[in-house]
Structure 1
Amino acid sequence: MEGRNNRWWSAVAVLLLASCAHVRPADPVPPHDEFTVDSKVLGEQRAVNVSLPVEYDGARAFPVVYMPDGALDEDFPHVANTLLELTKRGDIEPVILVGIPNTVRRRDLTPPTEVEEDKKVAPVVGGSAKFRQFIREELFPAIEAKYRVTQQRTIVGESLAGLFIIETLFLEPELFSGYVAFSPSLWWNEHELVRKAEARFLSWNGRSGALYFTAADETDIRPHTDALQFILSKAQPGGLYTTYAPKPQEHHHTIFRAAKEEGLRTVLRALQASSRSP
């Protein structure tokens, strides 16, 4: 029992560090749009932040990168600035960034769990299916009504957001073309997603897409990302371009910023190349 308690305290510490890492007031906030979606699915009003590329003019449509933890005091400013800089350097083609600020983060980003220690991290957990439904049925239509967008969608996030991203890849891979997950919390529910990964990948239907994932020097995450990579190397799901790039020199609170350029560039370039293929 002592080991399980230690793991719970470790998980809490990781989540607290992640929360602290999101607050970086020094990040310049780029020009952006703000609006709200009255969500019937979630029963609440959800804010949305949108960063448009400099090239957003005329009749051209653009791919979209979606991001949980997307408030102005979360990850939106530094990721928006990174995408604008990657575009300016010619590393990627222009994209739109859609940030989704949190209301109840640990509710929205976690699947159900049978592990009592997991349930202690927040009063309510296990709401990822509803959050995904909100994105699919309410957020996508709202973005498509306001902006000129293509059907190429990518999702990016870290920690619990990374967990949500891997779960979405497994359960509804058609929602996004690109998946970028930094230190996903794959320990959740006794690493259920990893335990079921082989079956998911062996039944992959050839849908084209791109996945980038990484982990820092984290004893509760790195073993599970290593295991996921091992399963991927065996299953070799056709059509899914995958990159695993662990960063042992980083920590949970530094991995997002350390790996964001590499992760976004890798996935967006892969998708752009795929879209040009005959």
Structure 2
Amino acid sequence: MSDLSFDLLLSPACNIVRRRLLGALAGAAVLPGCAGAPPPAAPQRFDPARRMGPSVWDEGGSRHYRFERVVAAAASGRRYRLWLAWPRRAAPAGGHPLACLLDGNAVADTLGAAQFDALAEAGDAPAILAIGPDSDLRFDVAQRAYDYTPPVRGDGPTWDDEVLQRRGGGADAFLDFIAGRALPALAARAPLDARRHTLWGHSYGGLFVLHALLRQPLLFSRYAAADPSLWWQEGFILREAGQPAPLPAGRETALLLMQGASADERGPAPPPAGADAARVERMRRQRASVPPEAGRMLVDRLGRRPGMRAEFRAFPGVPHGPMLAASLPAALALAARAPAGMQTG
């Protein structure tokens, strides 16, 4: 069903969710890529040392949601912040939809009371589980490089960046943490609808979302990948898609793959500060290893599987970094969508 648009398939209530969230995220400004928007500003260099500001979890500023922040440890001893939010209203008969969001510190620093109010007022509001590092950094670059990347080989370590000695390959262990520790933490506080468990991630997080879909599709029924790093390990995830795990029978599995400005629009990515020429060239080769249309091709391929509904959605003019915020409304609308065959009021 990859040739069909989610806009035709989503309920009217779900489209309302997306419109209200877009408005709440944009505020007084117009999102890049929307009609009438000014040209996007030149992308700024990624700052791994950027820290969080006060969040709605600290301020408790939504009359529609309850908020809690807890710390949980994985079997490895790695510690994570779980940003939990669930609607104050009584849960539907089947429980609340769930949106599990990676890069939780950055998400908590992005979503505010207006976005939670828009979710609650638009229809079937999802419970939120955002998972981030146990620090005040928006991103922990080394930890997310390990947690969000799949294991590549069994006879030695998977390197995200061998020159920097930055390990990768921890995605399966992180999936175990989500299933065994993170999801139960929210389920203990609010009833959840097992038919509507959505996983969202951006960049390396989007790579993780695709790996989860291809290897452990029982854990979530809906997957939203924003600007996934398809180039990682010269297209490893595209090769992994050639042998996906069987989809669960008797239910629909949904994929929404979102991509922002094309490589031609973005121009060459600025190299990391202090990177040597050999590392810059290796990064360039990795990014050139997959064609610009790889995302569309992957959606078309996976969308042919029985039981899978897949869509590619373009965000013209939106640079890679801003895709984190720009993709959240569509992901949360996907989470709120009624299960197939269920009527909405």
* 27 and 37 in structure 1: CA distance in 2 versus 1, 3 angstrom threshold: closer
Q: In terms of mean alpha carbon deviation, does 117-126 or 238-247 score higher?
A: 117-126
Q: What secondary structure sits across from 2:207 in the alignment?
A: helix
Tell me which residue corresponds to 1:51.
85
d(CA) in 1 for partners of 2:133 and 2:309? 30
The one of 318, 324, 333 aligned to 1:256: 324
d(CA) in 2 for partners of 1:225 and 1:18? 26
Tell me which residue corresponds to 1:160.
204
* 254 and 43 in structure 1: CA distance in 2 versus 1, 3 angstrom threshold: same
Question: Partner letter of residue 123 of structure 1?
Answer: R
Residues 106-151 of structure 1: CA distance to partner in whole angstroms, max 9, x if unpaired? 1111113478674446622111111011111222223222332221
Tell me which residue corresponds to 1:243.
311
Residues 208-238 of structure 1: CA distance to partner in whole angstroms, max 9, x if unpaired? 12111111224347433133134235xx122
Output the TM-score relative to the length of structure 2: 0.63
Return the offset for 1:28: 5.0
Return the offset for 1:81: 4.7
* 275 and 81 in structure 1: CA distance in 2 versus 1, 3 angstrom threshold: farther
Quick check: which one's helix share is greater? Answer: 1
What pairs with 1:9-48 in structure 2 (closer than 5 Å)? Answer: 17=46, 19=48, 25=53, 29=57, 31=60, 32-39=67-74, 41-48=75-82
Tell me which residue corresponds to 1:99.
130
- Provide the alpha-carbon RMSD of the alignment: 3.3
Return the offset for 1:167: 0.3
d(CA) in 1 for partners of 2:169 and 2:315? 29
1:268 aligns with 2:268: no
Alignment gaps of 5+ in structure 2? 1-42, 61-66, 135-142, 264-286
d(CA) in 1 for partners of 2:48 and 2:133? 11
Tell me which residue corresponds to 1:3.
none
d(CA) in 2 for partners of 1:116 and 1:48? 27
d(CA) in 2 for partners of 1:169 and 1:58? 26
* 208 and 18 in structure 1: CA distance in 2 versus 1, 3 angstrom threshold: farther
Question: Partner letter of residue 78 of structure 1?
Answer: T
Q: In terms of mean alpha carbon deviation, does 170-179 or 141-150 score higher?
A: 141-150
Q: What secondary structure sits across from 1:47 in the alignment?
A: strand
d(CA) in 2 for partners of 1:252 and 1:121? 23
Matched-pair contact (CA < 8 Å) for 2:299–2:310: no
Return the offset for 1:242: 1.5
Matched-pair contact (CA < 8 Å) for 1:162–1:182: yes
d(CA) in 1 for partners of 2:217 and 2:70? 27
Matched-pair contact (CA < 8 Å) for 1:67–1:156: yes
The alignment-based identity, stated in percent, is: 21
Question: Partner letter of residue 101 of structure 1?
Answer: G
Matched-pair contact (CA < 8 Å) for 2:159–2:167: no
d(CA) in 1 for partners of 2:328 and 2:187? 26
Matched-pair contact (CA < 8 Å) for 2:98–2:127: yes
What pairs with 1:217-228 in structure 2 (closer than 5 Å)? Answer: 217-219=261-263, 220=287, 222-228=292-298
Tell me which residue corresponds to 1:76.
108
Q: Which has the higher contact order (CA 8 A, sep 6+)?
A: 2
Matched-pair contact (CA < 8 Å) for 1:180–1:264: no
d(CA) in 2 for partners of 1:82 and 1:239? 35
d(CA) in 2 for partners of 1:179 and 1:145? 23
